[in-house]
Structures are given as C-alpha cells and as structure tokens.
Amino acid sequence: MHGIIFFYIQKFADEATSGKTTWLKLRETVTATNSRYLPNEVYPDTDAIQLLQEIADTCGEPLPELIERFGEFLAPHLIKVAGQLIDPCWQTLDLIENTESIIHTMVRSANPGAEPPVLETVRHSPNELHLVYTSGRQLCLLAKGVTRGLARHYNETVMIEETSCMHKGDPFCCFIIQDESNETHSTKSPLSETIAFDPRSGDSLSPQITNWHSNPSDSSGTPETIDIFSIKSVIGSGGMGRVYRGYDRSLDRDIAIKVMHPSRAKDDVSRKRFLRESKTTASINHPSIVTIYQIGEHDNLPYIAMQYVDGPNLSEYRTQSGGVIPVSEAVRIGREISEGLAAAHQKNLVHRDIKPDNILLEGPQHHVQIIDFGLAHETGNEESRLTVNNAVIGTPAYMSPERIGTDEVDAKSDLFGLGVILYEMISGKLPFDGKSMVSILAAISRGKPTAIDTVVPGMPKDLAALVMQLLSNDRAERPADANSVVEQLRVIEKQGT
C-alpha cells in the first residue's frame, strides 16, 4: 500500500485514540522492518490493516466500522493532495467519476508497478453514478467511507447502495451512488452536450491551471482567447478537457472549442485519442455529422474548433416530448442517424458509442447531428484501440453484446445502438434495463428484449420488425449495413407512418 495512506493513518490515530496510545506504540505492533513509514514509499497491505486493527481495539470499535470511518477522515486530505488534478467546479459524483484517471496520474505513472484499485464508473444522470470497484485488498468499506467523506467535504448528502460485494464471493463490488442534496451540483450545463463532447466522461481544469490564456482578474478561469478565437463562455467539462463557446471573427459565427486538459496532454495515449477524435470526425463530410473547422495547438495544448449546434440532444428532446417521440418523427430521426453512420462506415470508421446524448437535434427542424467520435476507430486498426487497462468505455444501455464481450467491434455495433435508440424513442422504454450497470450488461448479454409491438400495439409491422432485427444478439442477423437501414426507413416514411 502507498505510504501516503500510512501517513494519514498516523494522523487518524492521533485523532481517533485521543491520547490513549502513541503512534510509536502502534507502529511497534506491526512486523515491518522499516523504522518509519515514508509517504513516497510502498509498504505491505498487512501493515496498514494491522495498524487499523490496533486503533480499532484501542477505541473499542469493530474493525469494519473503523475502516469506513478512516475513509471519511481520509477523503478531504486526499482532495488536498490531488488538488492540482481536481476541477474546482466538481462536486462529489464528478470527483468519483474522475478518480481512476487521478489515480493513474498520481500513482501508476510515477510507479508502474503499483496496483491501486480499479474504479469504473457510469454516470446515469447528474445525481446518480454507478461504481464498480475491484482490488485484491477488498477494501470496499474504505471506498464507501471515502465517498461519504467526499460528500461531507462538498456539503452534500449521498445514498450508497452496494449491489454486489467481493466479501460475498462476487468478482467485484458495485455501488449505486445517488446525490440526495436539495440542490444538484453538476459540471453539466444544458449546452454541455451540444457539441462533439461527452461531459460525463470526466476531467477538466485544475486550480493550478485555471488561468490558461485568461485574464488574471477573471476568477472563473475562462480564457479571453484560444488561438485566433475569442471565448464567450464555458459550455462543459469532461473526459479530455474543457469545451468553450467561442466566436470566429473572420467568418462571423459562433463555434465550439474543445481544449485538452494539460495533465492529459502530457499522456501520450490520451493525446493520441484526442487528436484521433478530431481527425476522425473531420474526415467525414456529411450533413448529419458535426463539422470540424480547425485542429491546432495553443500554449502546447491541442484544441478542436467545431460547429456549434443550437439545439437539444436526443435525450433532452425525448424528455421535453413527454418520453415518447411520434413514430413519424422517430423514423425520420432514425433515418438521418443511419445516413450519418453510413457515411462514417464507408470510411471504415465505427462510432462505437451511439446513444441519445451523442445525437443533437439542430434548429426548428431538429436535424440530426452525430457528435463525439472519441471512441471511433478505423476497422482493423489495432493502434486506435486506446483504452486504459482494457476498460469498457461507453454507456451500458446502448452497448452491443460484442462490446461487452471480447468479439471484434464492427459497424454492426453502431446498428445495435441505433436499434436501442429507435426502441426508446417509440416506446419510451429501454429494451434492456436494470437497476445497476451490471444488471443492464447482463440483460444485453442475454439478448431477449420484449418485442416492441407488444409494448406499442398497432405500430407499423415493418418498423417493429426492423427495430427487433437491429437489436439481434447475433450481429449476423442484423441488417447488412447502415445503407440497408436507410432504405428500409425511407420506405416506411413513404408509407406515411
């Protein structure tokens, strides 16, 4: 275990035991050969557990309860230590969502042999996050305590439900964490997903570097300019950096500018992924795919200048429509998505994360704009599979079965995501649902959704058949390609749905 934990065990011991024992006596109870624990070294896990056990015995408290209490004590101290990597706009769920990348930067990069816990998250909404935790140490109680400590630091109230646990024989622990505060704090704004960017994937500016290109008197840290573009406001922050609404004076138009986080820019894998996203999107010229105007660097930070889309994403629009979109409009939206995918697939580019948040509806006609090709890769190009520790990246409800497993992901994975979107637009329900990330993935793997014409009686039979074909567990049973889906949807449109 990293020495920084031992450093804070010492501080915790001084507070918890209230003078009933000394750190020296506690340290003498362990079998370490070291005479002291240094914050920058690594020591046996058993030492940490034995120290905590001695504190628990001194306090007359069960060890599990004390470990969780230590986690609550530890949280604000870890925030201080990681301060340069934490966006001042974040709250509890935002920080948990980004913990894995912070650990990678602080621990793995400095000590490649270190084995910190693996934390995978999915943000279901601004106030709900699902967390998968796995570690040989099985310190899920510490993770729960840290979560509560983070919430206390941010003056929030969280509910934690553990749906699976390694101590019960499960391969990992899964937590559902809900922010139950009176006010929901989130880095997401209504416009935060109206450009090629998914803010739920985390990361943004740190306190140390909020003055990039900015007026020092501007406490928000918003730069006045990026390259030749003036900046109006922050749109959102997420997995690779921050996104601004800018203005291009030369062409008199608003644009969206995505700037890479400085700490991410130092990481070769992250930098490649950021540039690959922009080049991938820029290579496709189609009215249903967001347009990239310029790719460049400013103060050694890569940026993407792209089309600013005025309109909601499909998820927001469906909510505004009462949860269900009229069949005729759903077919039109599905056809425009298919046309954009066909253009991408023609260049052997697979989006891999087709979901409502990545579908923008522009203007009064709600014309489709597909965004966020950050997960896209060229078919057959192994170098483009830039994931961390083989992590599953994406939103579970819209993942194809092959994305969950080990099969090669191809264009038919995008067709599956389209099938989920069509099903949800027309019925108001997801074909594969569950209370946790694990249960959703299990439902997709089983591949037995309720027939959509059972949920929506009277809908066109050809449309119902197409939706269920798109959702086939066996991708060989899905339509041949996106062009085939376009043609089928055009026929259904002409039939006057």
Burial class (CB in 10 A: 0-12, 13-18, 19+), 96: buried
**Smallest Cα–Cα separation from 291: which of 275, 274, 303, 278?**
278
Task: Give the three-class secondary structure for 45.
Answer: helix
Residue in the block written with tokens 């138009």: 253
Backbone angles phi, psi at 52, to 5 degrees: -65, -35
| Single-letter amino acid code for the residue at 55 | I
Catalytic residue IDs: 353
- The DSSP H or E segment spanning 456 is none
CA-to-CA distance for 198 and 192, rounded, in angstroms?
8
Alpha-carbon dihedral sign for residues 420, 424, 430, 431? negative
Burial class (CB in 10 A: 0-12, 13-18, 19+), 285: exposed
Instruction: Give every CB contact of residue 181 below 8 A, 6+ residues apart in sequence.
Output: 127, 155, 156, 157
244, β-bridge pairs? 234, 257
